[in-house]
Chain A
């Protein structure tokens, strides 16, 4: 995706601009509906509200767990002769919660765009099946080309 000129600074600026763009688009869509008394508002999307609730709940759980572990960590003392902690439990909950948040957000975004995998609408499975069939065909053609030469 990036060429040779795109280093760490380019990636950082690209991610910063993409995040600002997402924030601005969602805020613009939301505030437009509020200002103009729209009949339809993106704030009324059920999946977005579910995602927001999920993220809030997981962040609250993370905050509680982190408070407990960091309190235990600051209250502990290192005995003489031991120079390292056996576990980094204050960071262990963060991994799981980050993965759960990203998974939830991705699944809800795909549900909104591709038609939903959990409801009665199974459109995403048709798209995924077609894509898997295409990948299988390409794999077979590559194998054929490797063994027998050009497929045409």
Chain B
């Protein structure tokens, strides 16, 4: 059977599978980081809105950005992302931090 991309060698360990898959499809890791960001943001936002009646979007965006940044920094130790993705994640973290500190919800309580 012919595949449209080369199948990773699963006998050399699960870490090698991740590395070979990300080499074969470079958008895998950015999509994974984006899905983690939206998972934390949407679950936290909707849960807080259902429990409290209001939700702080800036707070959940800065929290999800920080967790995404830490996961991205862990990925940099095994060379499966590039410098532009790391720069984008750091930039988004800084922008959401500025949004959080300048948002009005810090003063409403």
Contacts and interface: CB of A to CB of B under 8 A. Distances in A.
Given A40-B81, A40-B83, A6 B97 contact: no
A25 B94 contact: yes
A10 B83 contact: no
Contacts, number: 81
Given A2-B102, A32-B73, A39-B77, A21 B94 contact: yes
B91 A109 contact: yes
B86 A113 contact: no
Contact of A113 (B79, B92, B107): B92
A78 to B, nearest CB: 45
Interface residues of B, number: 28
A18 B58 CA distance: 13
Decide if the interface of chain A is mainly helix, strand, loop or mixed.
helix
B103 interface: yes
B64 interface: no
Interface of B: 69, 73, 76-79, 81-84, 86-88, 90-95, 97-98, 101-104, 106-108
